[in-house]
Amino acid sequence: MHTHLPKWLNPQSPILSRLTPYLFLFPALFILTFAVFIPALQAFYLTFVRIDDIRSPQSAQWIGLNNFIRLWNDQVFWQTLGNTVLFLVVVVPILVIVPLGLAILLNQRLRGISWYRAAIYTPVIISMVVAGITWNWLYAENGLLNQLLKYFGFIREPIPWLTDPNLAIFSVMAVTIWKGLGYYMVIYLAGLQAIPGDIYEAAAIDGSDGVRKHWDITLPLMRPYLALVAVISAISASKVFEEVYIMTQGGPLNSSKTIVYYLYEQAFSNLEISYGCTIGLVLFLIILGLSTLRLMIDSTGKSISL
C-alpha cells in the first residue's frame, strides 16, 4: 500500500521548505518565551506598581512613575551608578590592553609555552566564590599581601584594602581584572594566529620589525578583536556582582556597591521588588546599549573580513 502524504508535507513542498527553519527555532523560542520574555514583561509591569505583601501579588497597587521619581532622588543609586561607571573606566582599558600584550608574548614559539598559557588562563576556570574567599585572605590585615609589602619595606602599617572607602572598590577591580586576563587573552590569541606570517616577513623587509611591526601590522589587523573585547569587558564590568557580594557586600559606606548589587539588595534583602525592577530596567538599558554596540562591531568586522 502506498501512503499519499498531503502536498504540504512533501519534502519538496515550498511551504514545508519555508516552515523548516521556524520548526527548528520553535523549541528554543518556546523556552525563551517562558524563561526570559514573559518574566521581562512582568518585571517591566512591576516598575509601575507597589507590592505591599510579596506573598500576595494581588496586593499590587498602580503608582505610575513614582518608582522612577524615587530612583531619581535616590542618592545611593547615583553613587552605585558612579561606582559602576568607575568600574568601566578603570577595568575596561586594562582588560583591552594587557591581554593583548600577553597574547603577543604567548604567541611566540617557545619551549613550554602551553604551560604559560594554561597558567594565565587558570583564574578563568576558578569559581568566583573560591577566588573571592582567597583574595579576602590576601587582603586581610595580616594577609600575605600586607606581609610582603611590610617585609620589603614599602609599608609600616597594614593597608586596609577592603575597609577603606577609597580603596575597597579598586581592590575588587583587581580581582575582576585577574579573573578576566586569561579569557580575553585567548580571544586575542585566536586573532593573532589568524594573521599570516608572510605579512610580518614582508614588513621586515620594509624595515618594520621588532616592536614596530606590532604597531604597523598587529594593531590595525586586530582592530575588530580590540573593539569586541572592549564591548564584552564593558558588559561584564557593568554586571559585576559576585566579587562585591563575597568581598565587601557593597561597603564600606556604599563605596564598592554596584548597580547589580544594589538591585539585589533592594529586591531580595529589603523585599522592594518593584523598586528592584526599576533599577533593573536602568541596568537593562545600559546593557542593551552595549549589546547594540557589540552587534554593530560584529557587522563591521564581518564587512572588513569580506
pTM for the predicted model, two decimal places: 0.83
Cell numbers linked to 64 = 505610575
Radius of gyration of the chain (CA): 26
**Per-residue model confidence (pLDDT) at position 304:** 45
pLDDT in tens, the chain (306 residues): 455 555 555 556 666 677 778 888 889 999 999 988 998 898 898 899 888 666 666 677 888 899 999 999 999 999 999 999 999 999 999 999 999 999 988 888 778 788 888 888 999 999 999 999 999 999 998 989 999 999 898 888 899 999 999 999 999 999 999 999 999 999 999 888 888 877 877 777 777 777 777 787 888 888 888 988 998 998 888 889 999 999 999 988 999 999 999 999 998 888 888 999 999 999 888 888 877 877 776 666 554 444
Res 4: pLDDT: 59
SS (H, E, C) 209-223: CCHHHHHHHHHHHCH
What's the pLDDT score for residue 186? 92
The domain at 79-305 falls in which architecture? Answer: Orthogonal Bundle (1.10)
Torsion of CA 188, 246, 261, 295, to 10 degrees: 10
Cβ–Cβ < 8 Å for 96, 226:
yes
Distance of CA 239 to the CA centre of its chain: 6
- The secondary structure of 59-100, three-state, reads HEEECCCHHHHHHHCCHHHHHHHHHHHHHHHHHHHHHHHHHH
Beta-carbon contacts of 43 under 8 Å, excluding residues fewer than 6 positions away, are 277, 280, 281
Helices marked H in 208-258: 211-213, 219-221, 223-238, 242-247
